[in-house]
Structure 1
Amino acid sequence: MNQAQLALLRSQLEQRRDELLGQSDMALACGRDLPVSEVETSPADKATVRLLNDLALEAAGHNVSQLRTIRHALAKFDDGSYGECEECGNPIGFSRLQARPEARLCITCQTRAEKR
């Protein structure tokens, strides 16, 4: 990959990292643990509130996982290993990295991993 391609991919990763951090900051600024508070209502309403809170917690966990993956990819820029497959060491194609800049594996290794 050339320097312009690397700069583009790094920019995409940094932008996504900033979006995820912004979402985390917004959640903390709300000052509440759960997005919907339980009030004395019918059992059906309570079930809906629990479901909404479970979905919000799951989304927050997903965001944390994404943030961890993006930070790992950005760290690979620093050590010069960005764009190399973590399994076989071959280059990850630019088109794959455009679609998933945080990709850790080349298409071949990713396919093999998904079949396991």
Structure 2
Amino acid sequence: MAGTKKIKDITEAELLKMPEKDYMNEVQLEFFRKRLQQMEAELRQNADETTEHLRETVIVPDPADRATIEEEHALELRTRDRERKLLKKVQQALARVQSGDYGYCEETGDPIGIPRLLARPTATLSLEAQQRRELKQKMYGD
């Protein structure tokens, strides 16, 4: 692809139709960079909303209502903790886009593949490497 051509927004369908020789070209990298940046913004917004929600102190005299509110807060905090971990993976993926390593398996160096990256933009392993890792974990534990 010529460097002078402006990178346009493409759809997932157009991305999937691209030939293998175009794997992780400028257009594809830009597509995933934008997707990762959008994920990062959403995760940060959720964290801000949680912070605001938890700051709202409501004094409830009924112990059952208080327990319900505390359980909701605990669930929200667990969700945000998972999102915090995902945010770290998103930031690492953005760094890989920047360095040119995005889309390639960190174990084998093989392409991860567009369908897998569309499903999981933070993937660092090809499907085969991920399956081997999961099999090892199942057989030997963590």
Query: TM-score w.r.t. structure 1 length?
Result: 0.84
| Equivalence map 1:2-41=2 (5 Å) | 2-28=25-51, 30=52, 32-33=54-55, 37=58, 39-41=60-62
The alignment-based identity, stated in percent, is: 35
Deviation at 1:41, TM superposition (A): 0.9
List per-residue Cα deviations over 1:35-69 (Å, max 9, x = no partner). Answer: 67452213x33332221111011011011111100
Q: Does 1:74 align with 2:94?
A: yes
Q: Distance in 2 between matches of 1:70 and 1:37?
A: 34
Segments of structure 1 that go 5 or more residues without pairing to the other structure are none
Runs ≥4 in structure 1, deviation > 4 angstroms? 35-38
Question: Where does residue 109 of structure 1 map in the other structure?
Answer: 129
Question: Where does residue 47 of structure 1 map in the other structure?
Answer: 67
Which of 89, 92, 106 is equivalent to 2:112?
92
Given that 1:76 and 1:82 are in contact with CA atoms closer than 8 Å, whether structure 2 keeps it comes out as yes
Given that 2:112 and 2:125 are in contact with CA atoms closer than 8 Å, whether structure 1 keeps it comes out as yes
Q: How many residues align?
A: 113
Q: Distance in 1 between matches of 2:114 and 2:90?
A: 17
Query: TM-score w.r.t. structure 2 length?
Result: 0.70
Given that 2:36 and 2:94 are in contact with CA atoms closer than 8 Å, whether structure 1 keeps it comes out as yes
Root-mean-square deviation (CA, aligned residues, Å) is 2.0
Kindly tell me: are residues 49 and 36 of structure 1, through their superposed partners in 2, closer, same or farther at Cα, counting changes over 3 Å? farther
Segments of structure 2 that go 5 or more residues without pairing to the other structure are 1-22, 138-142
